[in-house]
Amino acid sequence: MSAVARLITPRAAAIVVALLLLLTLPAWVGNPYYINIASQILFFAVFALALNVLVGYGGLVSLGHAGLFAMAGYTAALLLARGHGHLVADTAALAVTVVTAAVYALLSLRSTGIGFLMITLAIGQILWGIAYRWASLTNGDNGVNVASRPSPFGFSLAGADGFYYLCLVVFLVCVATMAVVVRSPFGASLRGTRDQERRMSALGYNVWLIRFYAFLLSGFWSGVAGLLFLYYNQFISPQIVALTTSAETLLMVISGGTATLLGPIVGAAIVVIMKNVVSAYIVRWNMVLGIIFILIISFMPEGLVPGSARLWAWLRHRWGAGKAQPAAKTGEDGA
């Protein structure tokens, strides 16, 4: 086999095809309504990938990430409303979000498991209360409007196409970052703290600090997703800070498959499509979403992506197709 032929694995081919489809999406989708849905999938995928750093790789289930997502959105919206430029507002928003993530971490990393979940939930609810009740700052229930989207380097983001490409670039950078970090020594350490916390300490690792840094990484990308959400709607209100947002994002991660790169992306696509498309036809779309989740958790408790990989390996084995390699690596913990 030549060197080139060896590079064309099924996986590499799938990535290239997916990239081509994503890059040409506005051309073959056409309708701005659907292009906007694609943008939503991309920034919710970024949010889900951010949450997955803690849930999947750190084994720390947070139910308060809406607070981080909204912290970025609100900070930017309020700075813009006070006349600051986009660059200042967005940079400050990300900085504030990372600091908020640090506060989350300081309070919640005293415990793991249910304790961690409850503390993140509580902080999220406090931030929701602030967004809702501190009207002199946040404009309360009325929310904050953003007059315009930025135009980086003269590239207009006003239309559906332009905004889609912004989301795509951010999404790809996020996926690449996650892929690198997960494979790195830091990523290995984080997974180690998930699997054997006690052994990791005995081996010389600072378990607390590893989790703290993971929280900052998760907070940063939650903030990036929150900014895209703000610019997408050009509006933010307390509704997005509510527990529903945190729960939905957690469902994206769990249904797609924790500790995988593809899982949260698939999960984000399912939730966004259900919310936008199916709700147009079925009034009780929420119930349909619930049923889908119950089915996924019943038949593929590890999530859709690892579950499908398992099913595929089983089918290939069963029908004797391909080489005898029954339990193909499911992508668990890898890409």
Question: Which positions touch another protein (CB under 8 A)?
Answer: 180-181, 183-189, 192, 195-196, 198-207, 213, 332-333
Query: By CB neighbour count within 10 A (0-12 exposed, 13-18 middle, 19+ buried), where does 259 fall?
Result: buried
Residue with smaller CB distance to another protein, 86 or 194: 194
Taking the complex as a whole, how short is the minimal distance between the CB of residue 318 and another protein, in angstroms? 21
To the nearest 10°, the Cα dihedral for 266, 269, 274, 275? 140
| 240, 147 contact by CB (below 8 A) | no
| 37, 273 contact by CB (below 8 A) | yes
Enter the DSSP assignment of 158: S
Taking the complex as a whole, how short is the minimal distance between the CB of residue 198 and another protein, in angstroms? 6
Residue 249 has φ and ψ, to the nearest 5°, of -65, -40
Taking the complex as a whole, how short is the minimal distance between the CB of residue 319 and another protein, in angstroms? 25
Taking the complex as a whole, how short is the minimal distance between the CB of residue 304 and another protein, in angstroms? 19
Residue with smaller CB distance to another protein, 212 or 285: 212
Distance of alpha carbon 15 from alpha carbon 219, whole angstroms: 27
Distance of alpha carbon 241 from alpha carbon 87, whole angstroms: 24
Residue with smaller CB distance to another protein, 203 or 291: 203
Query: By CB neighbour count within 10 A (0-12 exposed, 13-18 middle, 19+ buried), where does 172 fall?
Result: middle
Enumerate the β-bridge partners of residue 236.
144
Residue with smaller CB distance to another protein, 5 or 202: 202
Taking the complex as a whole, how short is the minimal distance between the CB of residue 199 and another protein, in angstroms? 5
| 175, 46 contact by CB (below 8 A) | no
Residue with smaller CB distance to another protein, 161 or 332: 332
Residue with smaller CB distance to another protein, 131 or 217: 217
Taking the complex as a whole, how short is the minimal distance between the CB of residue 179 and another protein, in angstroms? 10
- Backbone torsion region of residue 45, taken as left when φ is above 0, otherwise alpha when ψ lies between -120 and 50, otherwise beta: alpha
Query: By CB neighbour count within 10 A (0-12 exposed, 13-18 middle, 19+ buried), where does 75 fall?
Result: buried
Taking the complex as a whole, how short is the minimal distance between the CB of residue 177 and another protein, in angstroms? 9
Residue with smaller CB distance to another protein, 133 or 199: 199
Residue with smaller CB distance to another protein, 114 or 202: 202
Residue 41 has φ and ψ, to the nearest 5°, of -60, -45
Residue 298: which residues within 8 A CB-CB, separation 6 or more? none
Taking the complex as a whole, how short is the minimal distance between the CB of residue 241 and another protein, in angstroms? 29
